[in-house]
Amino acid sequence: MAAQMGIFRFAEESWSELKKVSWPTPETVIRLTIIVLVISALVGVYIFAFDNLFTAAITKPIVEQRT
């Protein structure tokens, strides 16, 4: 019985804390989501470019050495 009361108390306190949360507006959520997607894409392009650059720098001398 005490465990059950603890669960109810936990749920009640959690709900009261959630009422205090300052939730973002939909516009803010959309704006920040777009920012995250753009930055992720830029980081992906950066990694892709340097990966190809380093791959070419390492494989070109090896390929030329074998011919």
8-34: pLDDT as tens digits = 999 999 999 999 999 999 999 999 999
The count of structural domains within the chain is 1
Task: Please give the Cα distance from 38 to 10 (Å, whole number).
Answer: 40
pLDDT for 60: 84
Q: Where would I find the beta strands (DSSP E) of 3-66? A: none
Q: What percent of the chain has pLDDT over 90?
A: 76
Residue 10 lies in a domain: no
pTM of the model: 0.63
Residue range(s) defining the domain that contains residue 28: 23-67
Residue 54 lies in a domain: yes
Residue 37 lies in a domain: yes
Residue 67 has pLDDT above 70, yes or no: no
Residue 47 has pLDDT above 80, yes or no: yes
Average pLDDT, the chain: 91
